Amino acid sequence: MGSFFSGASSGVKNHVSSFCCKVLQAGPIPRHVAFIMDGNRRFAVKQHVERAQGHIMGFDKLVETLEWCLDLGIEEATVYAFSIENFKRSKDEVDGLMELAKQKFTRLLEEKELIEKHGVCVRVLGDLSRLPRDLQVAVGNAVNFSRNNTRLFLNVCLSYTSRHEMANAMQLLAQGVEDGPLLPSDVDEELFEQCLYTRKSPDPDLLVRTSGEVRLSDFLLWQSSFTCLHFSDALWPEFSIWDFFAAILHYQQDFPQIKAAREQHRQKSFAHQRSLSPKEFAERRVRVQVFLNKLNTSEEEFFRSIAS
């Protein structure tokens, strides 16, 4: 693929798929879709090509899928690009994946005008200290230059597992209590969520996993409590627009139940907040806001520090 995006609204390429797109848009469209892009290595074996080629074709499929998201009006996509567990693979494969990631983030930097045109904001979520320094630089540059775009948010989970994310959130909260300004009683589910890597994003409405595997593999475990889970038999590089439409249709069928469950959970959260007196609520809000401001400032400083 010559560029990161081949062109505006180019994902729907023929009249039939365009018509289906419009039909789906008559129903509820997920705001946020997450993808477990599984099957690159099996696809490579199936096609008798090197594993590295399977991963390259998997990236090309990601670009195509993002174009479909733009066509449907989906505002946010989160992709499981590289698990912390993947570091256990062979050195050659890990090095190849790190090099591919560096090349693709570098390509983003070369196509700033196109990224700005499409309004794509790139966020990278995970323990980035584990990444090679040259990849950290490319990540930092991509995040910094696209941070003000708002049409499509692309969250790339790199060096990520959900258990590590939750452990990191607990460490941040413990530090906030120990150093101030938090009190132990300030810690609740809502504040915990604000300490996750995904704190700037709504929970995914739809999570799609390819390759026939029916498990989440330590991906967005906390965030997927009220998410429609769709498992596709297609290997990721073979994932088609029709597979994508099937996932959207599945979401639309489950939408009433998901909406009701989320509303019930939201009411329970409000009940907890109403248990505080007005003075206690106002004082807690100030403490929490000071803590979150420090957290956001620290994150911004980190990405500036790793950028070239």
Task: List, by residue number, the catalytic residues.
Answer: 38, 55, 152
Radius of gyration of the chain (CA): 20
The runs of H, that is alpha helices, within 1-111 are: 15-24, 40-47, 51-72, 91-110
DSSP state, 255?
H
**CA separation for the pair 217, 161 (Å, rounded):** 8
* Element holding 160 (H helix, E strand): strand 152-160
Task: Say which amino acid occupies 31.
Answer: R
What residue has token string 């009220």?
226
Neighbours of 230 (CB within 10 A): 20
The alpha carbon of 76 is separated from its chain's Cα centroid by a whole number of angstroms, namely 8
Residues near 184 by beta carbon (within 8 Å), at least 6 away in sequence? 177
Per the DSSP assignment, residues forming a β-bridge with 36 are: 209
Neighbours of 74 (CB within 10 A): 21
Report which of 297, 276, 296, 294 is spatially closest to residue 188, judged by C-alpha positions: 276
